[in-house]
Amino acid sequence: MTAPLINNLYRSLHSLGEGGFGKTFLAEDTHKPSRARCVIKQLKPVVSRSEVFAIIQQRFGREAAVLESLGSSHSQIPDLYAYFEEHSHFYLVQEWMEGSPLSEVSRIPWSEQQIHRLLVDTLEVLVHVHNQNIIHRDIKPDNIILRRKDQRPCLIDFGAVKEVMSTVLDENNHHQKSSLAIGTPGFMAPEQAIGRPTFASDLYSLGMSALYLLTGHSPLEFQTDQTTGEVLWHQYAPHIPAHLRDVIDRAIQPYGQARFMNAADMLEVLQRNQASALTFPKEPNNDASQQDTPLPPTQKVSRPNSESLEPSSSSSITAKELHRRYLDGARNFRRINLKGQSLRGMNLEGIDLSGANLSNTDLRGTRFINARLVGTQFYEARMGVRNSNSRIFKGFWFVLWILVSWCFSLFTASLNVLPLLDAKTVSEVFWPLCSFLILAGPLYLKFKLKNSAIYWYVVLITVGVAIISIFFGFSLIFLVTI
C-alpha cells in the first residue's frame, strides 16, 4: 500500500527514528523527476491549547529561519528545504546526510588518532554554530552522522526546535518553558538538565560522546567522584596520551566555568597539541585494528564488560611541567604531589588540584581564580600575596613613617636651643620617646610583612634615618653649646 503524501509533495519511505517530540523518516520529493530523497521531521507540541499553538507557530517559524541560515552556511549541517504545519503537526524538510550515526559504527573502542580527528572536525562545525549564538543542546552519537562520501561528521537534530514544541503557559497565560529537559541523559550537561544550557554544555556532550567511542561504555555506566562529581573514566582508556586526556577531562567538568568557554577555545588547544605532538610522546600501540583508517560500515556494536573505576594514585610532577601542560590546555591535576615546589606568580585560573599535596609549596602571587581545591593539602605553604596595589599602599606608609620619624628627631634636637625645657628633660624624656617611635615602625612591619624582603629594606632605611637624625641633633646641640 502506497503511503499518503505529506503536504501533497513528500512520500515517506521508512522511519529513521522516533522520540518524545515526534518522528523522523526518510522521504522522497514526488515533484522532482529524480525523486530526490530528504529527511522529514514530524513534530507535535506537548500541549494542544489554541493559545499555545499560536505561540508555537510563531516560534517555529523563527527557529526554522535559524536552521536555514546554519545549513546554508556550512556543509556539515543539513540544508533546510521547507517547513510547514499540517493537521496540528509541524514539519521540517531537510537535506539527507547519507551516512551512519556514530552510535552505529563498528570497531569500538576507537584509537586516539580517530578521536582526535573526530573532535577537531566536529569542533570546526560547532565554532560556526556558536559564532551564530546558537547552542545545539543535543549532541550525542545518534546526532553526529559520518557522511559516507568523505567520512566528515555532520551535526543534525538541533534542540531549539524541540524546545519550541515543549512550550507551555502558566496560570496567568504567560509564556514559559516546559519542565521537560532538552537533551539526552548521560550526554547532557548538569546545567542543561535544569534548563540553563551554555556553549560549554555542547562541549560536555561532545566530550561524553568521545568517551563513548573511546571506551565503548555509555556515559551512564561511568562512576563519579563522590566529592567533586567528576566522571571517573581513565581506567577504561589507560593508554590515551595525557594531552588528549586532559582536554576531554576539562570538557566534561561538572561545572561549566571549569570547562572551555566555547568550541573555538577547545579547538585551539587541540590544534596546538597536534602541532607540538613531540611534547607528549604517544604510547605504543601494536593493535593493527586501532590504526587511523577510514571508519568501517555500520553494524552492531559490541561493548566491553563494565569495570569498577578507582581514582588514580598520587604522582609527583615538577612545577615547570605543570605550568607547561597548563598552557597546553590541561586543567586536571588531581592528586598530584607538588611538595616543596615553587608556583610563585603563576596564573592557574580554572585548574583542578583536588586532593593534591602542596605542602611547603611557594604559592606567593599564584592566581587560583575558579580553581578546584577540594581536599588539597597546604601544610606550611607560603601564600603571601603579590599585588601591585598592596605594594603601593605599603610603600606610602613606609615613606610617611620615615618623614614622621625624621620630624620627631629634628623637633627633639631643636628643643635644646629653645628656653622651654632643660637639657635633662630632653635627654630623659624626648630622646627615648623619639627612639621608641623610630624603632616602632620596623617592629610593627615585622608582623605585617613577615618573611618579606621589604621588611629588611624598612629596617635598614629606618635605622639609617635614625642615625642621620641623631647625628644631626647632636651636631645642632654642639653648635648651639659653642
The catalytic residues are: 138
**β-bridge mates for residue 377, sequence order:** 357
Q: What angle do CA 49, 55, 59 make, to 5 degrees?
A: 140
Report which residue type is found at 117. R
Please, what's the b/e burial string for 413-428 (b: 16 or more CB within 10 A of its CB; e: otherwise)?
bebbeeeeeeeeebee
Q: How far apart are the first and last CA of the chain?
A: 132
Distance CA 226, CA 374 (A): 11
Q: How far is CA 450 from the centre of its chain?
A: 36
Grid cell locating 117: 580527528
Grid cell locating 150: 568523505
* β 336-337/315-316 pair status: parallel
The values of phi and psi at residue 70, to 5°, are -65, -45
Distance CA 303, CA 280 (A): 29
**Ramachandran assignment for 456, one of left (phi > 0), alpha (psi -120 to 50 degrees), beta (any other):** alpha
